[in-house]
Amino acid sequence: MAVHVSFLLILTGLTGIHSITTVSKVSVRTGGSVSIPCFYESEYKNHVKYLCKGAFWVSCSSVVKTNQHSSSGKFSISYDQSRRIFTVTIKDVTDKDTDYWCIVEMNDGPDYGKHFQLSVTGATPSLYVDQQEVTGFKGGNITISCRYSNPGVIKWCKLGSFCVTGPTGSIDGTTVTIDASVPNVFTVTMHGLMSSGWYYCVKGDLQMPVHVTLNEQPTTTTTAKLLITLPPTPDLTLVFTSEAPTAQGGYPSPSDHLKIFSIRLSVLTFAVMVTLFIWFIVKRYSK
């Protein structure tokens, strides 16, 4: 149900039952794309969410919903019920893509939404990151560079949580450091991250969302080698360890090894028989 924005703000301010958190203003280059996360309260996880285009609620038009597929391909929407976030993506941005609303449908009253604005430019955006999607490992560190050309206070925030404004701080138990020593860029490092989520750079009145995806640390497999040492046997040792090159320059084949072994075994048997025969003769004549 469409209602005038001011009336809705008064209504929700009195009741205090609705809340959506998102960024307020994002700088985007013409022809580019941007993803905007919208955080909502847990009791509305099963409600329909949608993106509405227009500066005023009373005249905005729905462009994509969680229970529908966009027909244009310009808009898409996804949602993560476990983290209470739905994400809208706008592609091929033009100078007409300036005002939008993240909205949750209310089954027993007027829908509730939060407005955000796109600052569209033909040049380099005033605040941007190289990638809106960053991947790391649980328990590891992640570094994001926020590049800017506008004035204002520097912050690093987690959607629906807290912000860090100084060189060091903490968000939900994760240590955050901000290095602003390089002109026109501040680098954020988060140490010991344990969960994925949406964060955003802040510089002045602009924000830029960044989604952090964490994977499990890869496991390292160690292969153990078992070395068995056998007592030396003179003839057998010669058979398996002394490999002389053949006349053609190669080494004996398994069949050659078998022949050599047979010959040496025959010689050894003959030598034993001769030895026993001589021992028998000597013993007999000694008597």
Order of strands, edge to edge, in the sheet holding 61-65? 25-29, 112-121, 99-104, 49-53, 61-65
Domain count, the chain: 2
Question: Cα-flanking dihedrals φ and ψ of residue 101, to 5°?
Answer: -135, 135
Q: Does one domain contain both 206 and 145?
A: yes
Domain assignment present for residue 138? The answer is yes
Q: Does one domain contain both 83 and 116?
A: yes
- Selected residue with higher pLDDT from 107 and 222: 107
Domain assignment present for residue 265? The answer is no
At 143-166, the pLDDT tens digits run 999 999 999 999 999 998 999 999
Q: Does one domain contain both 134 and 192?
A: yes
Average pLDDT, the chain: 82
Show the tokens assigned to 161: 């949580």
What's the CATH code of the domain at 95?
A: 2.60.40.10
At 47-103, the pLDDT tens digits run 999 999 999 988 899 999 998 866 568 999 998 988 999 999 999 999 999 999 999
At 20-58, the pLDDT tens digits run 999 999 999 999 999 999 999 998 989 999 999 999 988
Please say if the pLDDT value at position 262 is more than 80: no
Enter the pTM of the model.
Answer: 0.70
What's the CA gap between 80 and 205, in Å, rounded?
27
- From residue 28, alpha-carbon distances to 12, 117, 127, 151, 165 in Å are 30, 10, 8, 17, 24
115 burial via Cβ count (<10 Å: 0-12, 13-18, 19+): buried
- For the segment 233-248, the average pLDDT, to the nearest whole number, is 43
Residue 129: CB atoms within 10 A of its CB come to: 18
- From residue 76, alpha-carbon distances to 22, 67, 139, 149, 262 in Å are 17, 11, 31, 29, 78
Q: Does one domain contain both 157 and 53?
A: no
CA 59 to chain centroid, in Å, comes to 39
Q: Which domain holds residue 134?
A: 127-215
Torsion of Cα atoms, 193 then 184 then 22 then 45, to 10° = -30
What's the CA gap between 72 and 59, in Å, rounded?
20
Q: Does one domain contain both 71 and 164?
A: no
